[in-house]
A and B are shown apart, each in its own frame.
Chain A
Amino acid sequence: MAVRPQHMHDGGIVERRLRPIYDWLDNGNNKKALQEAEKVLKKSPNLQAARALKALALFRLGKKSQAHALLDELAAEKLSDDTTLQAMTISYRESQQLHKVCELYESAVKVEPLNEELHSHLFMSYVRVGDYRAQQRAAMALYKFAPKNPYYFWAVMSIILQAKTSEDATKKGILLSLAQRMVDNFITENKMEAEQEARLYIMILELQEKWDDILKFIESPLYSQLVPGSSAQACIPYLKKLGQWRRLNLLCKDLLWDNQDRWDYYLPYFDSVFQLMKESEINGESSADDTAEKCHEFICQLVENMTSGRTLRGPYLARLELWKRLSKDGDPTSLLGSGVALCVQYLRVFADKPCAVPDLRPYLAMLPQKEREEHSRDFLTCLGFNEKSEPETTKDVQRHISCVAAWRLAAAPMSAEECLELANTLRAHYIRSFNKGLLTATLTEFCSTDGYGILAAHHYFYAAMQQQSTAPVVEALCLLELVLSHSPANFHVKLLLVHLYHFLGNAIAADSIYQKLEVKHIQLVSLGWLHAERLSAACALQRALQLLANTSSFYTHHAKDSVEHLTYAYKYGTFEKLVELRAWGSRLEACAWGALSARERALLSLLAGPAVLLHAPAMLLPATPTDNRDLDVIVSFEPPESHDANLKERTYDQEVAYLRLKDALLSSIALCIECSDSRPLEERRPQYEELKTCIDAFSEAMKKCKEKYCDIEKISITKPYPSRIFAFVNSPIPYRELYSESVLMVGELAMGDTSAARTRCDLLTTLVNNSTRLLPKDIQLWTLRDSLETLSHYLEFIGIINCLLAVCNELFAPASTKKSKKKTNRSPDEIKTAELLNKLNETVQSSITYLEETFEKLPQHKYESTLESEFSKLAIDKKFGGCPVESKLQNGRQEMITEIQNILKRKTLFLKTLINFNSRGA
């Protein structure tokens, strides 16, 4: 955010002098800004604005105490100069001291009690800290001497927010009726001016559940004056609330005559029909539709009267919706015939549109499974196609693909052989399209032919899962790479490629495609599961660090910004968005992936970062983490039965459990470091006590999770791979003991309890020794992804134990005393401890050596795609451009191994520097 205020009032000397400081600050050159500020201050040492900017520059340069001293000094001077105040506001905002901004403006309005701008800044400062009562006070004070509508409604909104957050029902009621009275007065006095004010009034009435009053207001001339042309639509939710079904029915019918494609009118229409059906007295006179027959009749009329040249999906889908609703507690077939037939009819009309299958998908689930499976081929053949048909036009290609997809969604799953056969057929269709001019994709638009490739890839995957073989996955990858090379905009293909490369445990190949998706900003949140979360699990550590860093910076940026949007909402009077924006801000702040990615990053840095330093995230673990993953982004072609309704919730629960484990582990390490610092022992004891509690909690949680997370999730081509928690808690490697023993050992050393520490050190050495033997051997291609995940957890341990051994080293032989080590006389106790630590260190080193060898021996994909031969058979005019899959898999594997080996070598070198003083007789 730019530092320079939008309107500089002073056009003269001061502005000219400050300009260069603003320029440097806005360009991010804080050092120059500081120099410039000092230059200005030499000439006019009391210029407050220059001092405020100097404070900001100091703060941004990390000189926090100097910055705060200067700010405190300024604050004491009772300022009212806007330029200075705004510069100080930025410093306070960046240092998360928002309450100080309130104090600043509180004293400013005392200096200039009639300054409208200062008062409005004071209001906004309360908005930032969420002090609704103070907001109300400030807004009313402002309105008293500057009677403008927005200020009045700021006060009203502040009262509503107090009511919304009040636990006490009576108080809530009083506050809301006060808010209502305030607006009522304005209405009587004819002072309402804006649409948003009308909406705010409705919000107040809604909170009091005064549905009748809302309807009256919406039907009033004032409403249509403030919100022209939308009152009919606005009535819908309140007619529903009031149960005025007959009126609602007529209203929706009216709206539907003019808007036959508006689903948001069909849904309340159906609600009303089904309610009216329940009401006993049938009113023959009424033109409201109170029977299924009348409803069907209405839909048929809509179909017949379709005015525009385009065939609209609305009325057709409405018929499916009617079938679905009738089937809930009855038999719709007498009125509408078979559901399968209706679905097939829909497909017949709309198969040439890519939306046909997505539209149909929710309705396939309503059909009785047996009937649906028996008639599934009707979907395929309804337009005269079968799976072998070779359509000649692009429109027919789309129709064919829609029919094949609908057939697969309706049919029972096939055997591996059948899947492979269909996949090969579809692949042949795709290749054939080269010669037929059916491949019409451009750089920016993809084409229907791509659908063959996508459907084929799904079926290769189903076959692979049944056969437990990676070969079909390689076929899928080769085909998808071919599709992508001709249709570079097709993100469905990219998503599948990323997911399938990860299936083979090749994160670096996945990354080559992920880069093409250009995932950024909020997508880092919703799509973190697809790639960022898998990188470290697949041992692509540098890429993981990089992407986790990007993700973290998104979250920190948001944390700083989110409160500013609330001030915008007040500024523009968009009250209904205020509540939404606040909720959104909190939702992202509590994001589970945000918290996990920060912790993963800190732990991973210990292993792969430039130095063995712990950067514990500043964010506390959110009390109720939120799930912000988009798990529907990869389209599924499996029948409704395979849809797992609880998957999102269940996998989220696993993620949160994993997050809590990682948080406890990271906190323990941070405490180890804290209780080993240079303060006197007694001052450090509280951290040691905390450390014990923390690692106990970790240990307890590990036990519970092991019981709870024993059944691993099914692998799907469209959903995230199983959470890392399964491999972590079920590992034969005893992480619970490894981590507990190591942090407690450090704690005891820090507390000077060397004999206890030695016992643990000895135990730990044995544990590490045993763990090395438990690392995966004879890794197979099919389970490569799992094996890498297992190895990644052990790699993480290596990073952590490295860090902890460094802490021990500091405790024993602080860097400052090392130089004079020959002069130091070590006690026998110290020598004994050092010997044991050395032994542990050496055991870790041999474990690392073993790890290096394990990575060296990772299996390599044998590349056996039939794509090339298939291509030369079918695509006579087109040369096969070469398939990148083989080299991507090989290079990805090699790059990962080299990277890991380099990291491990660095770790060994580092460990060697830690070998303690004289055990070797040096």
Chain B
Amino acid sequence: MTTIRPFTCEDMLKFNNVNLDPLTETYGLSFYTQYLAHWPEYFQVAESPSGEIMGYIMGKAEGHGDNWHGHVTALTVSPDYRRLGLAATLMNILEDVSEKKKAYFVDLFVRVSNKVAINMYKNLGYIVYRTVLEYYSGDPDEDAYDMRKACSRDVNKKSVIPVTHPVRPEDVD
């Protein structure tokens, strides 16, 4: 049961029940405002009937030529509202926006240890395109999967042919 609406600045004051979750990063203020100023249609929030934030997605469109794609920067759902299909709903929205922008594919990065998320993305049609070594800094650094799903514009699904060799973060564009 959801209201889907654009994320607004004031949502930052009440997203604690989502962001206090350790896997959800709270970024500096300007990170959010930059996304709001640049890609507002890619920043959507799912709100419960009582006005609680259940989850949100933030993303962007970037790349040149046949690398023009939608990117999921953050997708998070409050622990109280998990297993309701909310993440899928939010991903659908981002894919829709990317379709409208005529993107070739949508991509995202995920920790290789985050099995739950990887499975969910696989169920939504994403494949592991390549591994990015030591993408997440920490102790120790952790690799990321770069996962992708082709949009309708990529008729021959060229964007989702996996790269077998892992790459370094600096080689990711």
Interface residues of A, Cβ cutoff 8 Å to B: 195, 228-229, 261-264, 310, 312-314, 317, 321, 353-355, 358-359, 361-362, 443-446, 488-489, 491, 494-495, 517-523, 525-527, 554, 557-558, 561-562, 564-565, 568-569, 571-572, 574, 576-577, 580-581, 583-584, 587, 628, 630, 632-633
Interface string of B127-170 (1 = CB under 8 A from A): 00000000000000000000000000000000000000000000
The closest CB in chain B to the CB of A360 belongs to B50
Contact status A580-B8, CB under 8 Å: yes
The closest CB in chain A to the CB of B38 belongs to A572
Known: A521-B29, A565-B33, A572-B37. A362 touches B12 (CB 8 A): no
Interface string of B107-143 (1 = CB under 8 A from A): 0000000101000000000000000000000000000
Taking the closest CB of chain B, its distance from the CB of A195, in whole angstroms, is 7
The closest CB in chain B to the CB of A494 belongs to B20
- What is the CA–CA distance of A630 and B53 in the complex, to the nearest angstrom? 12
Q: List 23 A-B contacts (CB under 8 A).
A: A261-B1, A263-B1, A354-B81, A354-B82, A355-B81, A358-B80, A362-B50, A446-B79, A491-B20, A494-B20, A519-B20, A520-B26, A526-B12, A558-B29, A564-B30, A565-B37, A568-B37, A568-B38, A572-B38, A572-B39, A583-B9, A630-B14, A632-B52
Contact status B80-A355, CB under 8 Å: yes
B73 contact set on A, CB distance < 8 A: none
Contact status B100-A229, CB under 8 Å: yes
Contact status B50-A522, CB under 8 Å: no
Known: A261-B2, A263-B49, A633-B16. A491 touches B21 (CB 8 A): yes
The closest CB in chain B to the CB of A582 belongs to B9
- What is the CA–CA distance of A565 and B96 in the complex, to the nearest angstrom? 26
Contact status B50-A358, CB under 8 Å: yes
Q: Which of B1-25 contact A (CB under 8 A)?
A: 1-5, 8-10, 12-14, 16-17, 19-23
Contact status B37-A445, CB under 8 Å: no
A561 contact set on B, CB distance < 8 A: 29-30
Among candidates A314, A564, A580, residue contacting B1 with C-beta atoms closer than 8 Å: A314
Contact status B38-A312, CB under 8 Å: no
- What is the CA–CA distance of A571 and B34 in the complex, to the nearest angstrom? 11
The closest CB in chain B to the CB of A233 belongs to B4
Contact status A523-B23, CB under 8 Å: no
A522 contact set on B, CB distance < 8 A: 12-13, 26, 29, 32
Known: A572-B37, A572-B38. A518 touches B22 (CB 8 A): yes
Contact status B1-A313, CB under 8 Å: yes
B47 contact set on A, CB distance < 8 A: 263
B32 contact set on A, CB distance < 8 A: 522
Taking the closest CB of chain A, its distance from the CB of B40, in whole angstroms, is 5
B67 on the A face (CB < 8 A): no
B65 on the A face (CB < 8 A): no
A362 contact set on B, CB distance < 8 A: 49-50
B16 contact set on A, CB distance < 8 A: 523, 526-527, 630, 633
In this complex, the member of B10, B37, B48 whose beta carbon has the largest number of chain A beta carbons within 10 angstroms is B37
Question: With contacts A263-B48, A562-B33 known, what are 8 further pairs, Cβ within 8 A?
Answer: A359-B48, A491-B22, A558-B29, A564-B30, A569-B37, A572-B39, A584-B33, A630-B16
B64 on the A face (CB < 8 A): no
B85 contact set on A, CB distance < 8 A: 310
Contact status A574-B13, CB under 8 Å: no
The closest CB in chain B to the CB of A195 belongs to B41
Known: A262-B3, A317-B1, A520-B26. A445 touches B116 (CB 8 A): yes
Interface string of B67-99 (1 = CB under 8 A from A): 000000000000111111100000000001000
Contact status A353-B83, CB under 8 Å: yes
Interface residues of B, Cβ cutoff 8 Å to A: 1-5, 8-10, 12-14, 16-17, 19-23, 26-30, 32-34, 36-41, 47-50, 52, 54, 79-85, 96, 100, 114, 116
Known: A355-B84, A572-B37. A517 touches B4 (CB 8 A): no
Among candidates A321, A576, A630, residue contacting B40 with C-beta atoms closer than 8 Å: A576
In this complex, the member of B1, B40, B50, B96 whose beta carbon has the largest number of chain A beta carbons within 10 angstroms is B1
Taking the closest CB of chain A, its distance from the CB of B58, in whole angstroms, is 14
- What is the CA–CA distance of A522 and B28 in the complex, to the nearest angstrom? 7
B30 contact set on A, CB distance < 8 A: 561, 564-565
Contact status B29-A264, CB under 8 Å: no
A355 contact set on B, CB distance < 8 A: 48, 54, 80-81, 84
Among candidates A312, A358, A520, A523, residue contacting B52 with C-beta atoms closer than 8 Å: A358
Among candidates A263, A361, A489, A571, residue contacting B21 with C-beta atoms closer than 8 Å: A489
B33 contact set on A, CB distance < 8 A: 562, 565, 568, 581, 584
Contact status A359-B1, CB under 8 Å: yes
Known: A262-B2, A310-B85, A313-B84. A525 touches B20 (CB 8 A): no
Contact status B52-A354, CB under 8 Å: no
Contact status B37-A581, CB under 8 Å: yes
- What is the CA–CA distance of A446 and B40 in the complex, to the nearest angstrom? 32
- What is the CA–CA distance of A321 and B49 in the complex, to the nearest angstrom? 10
Taking the closest CB of chain A, its distance from the CB of B27, in whole angstroms, is 7
The closest CB in chain A to the CB of B79 belongs to A446
Across the A-B interface, the 6 shortest Cβ-Cβ residue pairs: A584-B9, A491-B20, A568-B37, A264-B3, A313-B1, A569-B37
Among candidates A517, A574, A584, residue contacting B38 with C-beta atoms closer than 8 Å: A574
Among candidates A229, A354, A361, A494, residue contacting B50 with C-beta atoms closer than 8 Å: A361
Contact status A526-B26, CB under 8 Å: no
Contact status A580-B38, CB under 8 Å: no
Contact status B26-A523, CB under 8 Å: yes
- What is the CA–CA distance of A317 and B48 in the complex, to the nearest angstrom? 11
- What is the CA–CA distance of A322 and B94 in the complex, to the nearest angstrom? 32
Taking the closest CB of chain A, its distance from the CB of B9, in whole angstroms, is 4
The closest CB in chain A to the CB of B28 belongs to A521
Contact status B38-A633, CB under 8 Å: no
B52 contact set on A, CB distance < 8 A: 358, 632
The closest CB in chain A to the CB of B83 belongs to A353
The closest CB in chain B to the CB of A265 belongs to B3
The closest CB in chain A to the CB of B1 belongs to A313
In this complex, the member of A310, A353, A518, A584 whose beta carbon has the largest number of chain B beta carbons within 10 angstroms is A584
- What is the CA–CA distance of A494 and B82 in the complex, to the nearest angstrom? 20
Contact status B26-A489, CB under 8 Å: no
Contact status B19-A565, CB under 8 Å: no
- What is the CA–CA distance of A2 and B114 in the complex, to the nearest angstrom? 34
Taking the closest CB of chain B, its distance from the CB of A97, in whole angstroms, is 21
Known: A228-B100, A354-B82, A521-B28. A581 touches B14 (CB 8 A): no
- What is the CA–CA distance of A576 and B83 in the complex, to the nearest angstrom? 33
Taking the closest CB of chain B, its distance from the CB of A444, in whole angstroms, is 5
B100 contact set on A, CB distance < 8 A: 228-229
Known: A355-B84, A584-B10. A577 touches B1 (CB 8 A): no
- What is the CA–CA distance of A521 and B47 in the complex, to the nearest angstrom? 23
Taking the closest CB of chain A, its distance from the CB of B33, in whole angstroms, is 4
Taking the closest CB of chain A, its distance from the CB of B96, in whole angstroms, is 7
Contact status A568-B34, CB under 8 Å: yes
Taking the closest CB of chain B, its distance from the CB of A651, in whole angstroms, is 16
- What is the CA–CA distance of A407 and B103 in the complex, to the nearest angstrom? 50
Contact status B14-A632, CB under 8 Å: yes
B116 contact set on A, CB distance < 8 A: 445
Taking the closest CB of chain B, its distance from the CB of A264, in whole angstroms, is 4
A264 contact set on B, CB distance < 8 A: 2-5
Contact status A577-B22, CB under 8 Å: no
The closest CB in chain B to the CB of A316 belongs to B1
The closest CB in chain A to the CB of B49 belongs to A263
Among candidates B19, B21, B36, B49, residue contacting A359 with C-beta atoms closer than 8 Å: B49
A195 contact set on B, CB distance < 8 A: 41
A565 contact set on B, CB distance < 8 A: 30, 33-34, 36-37
Contact status A444-B23, CB under 8 Å: yes
Known: A354-B79, A354-B82, A568-B34. A229 touches B26 (CB 8 A): no
Among candidates B3, B34, B83, B96, residue contacting A263 with C-beta atoms closer than 8 Å: B3
- What is the CA–CA distance of A495 and B79 in the complex, to the nearest angstrom? 15
Taking the closest CB of chain B, its distance from the CB of A627, in whole angstroms, is 10
Taking the closest CB of chain A, its distance from the CB of B93, in whole angstroms, is 11
A443 contact set on B, CB distance < 8 A: 22
A321 contact set on B, CB distance < 8 A: 49
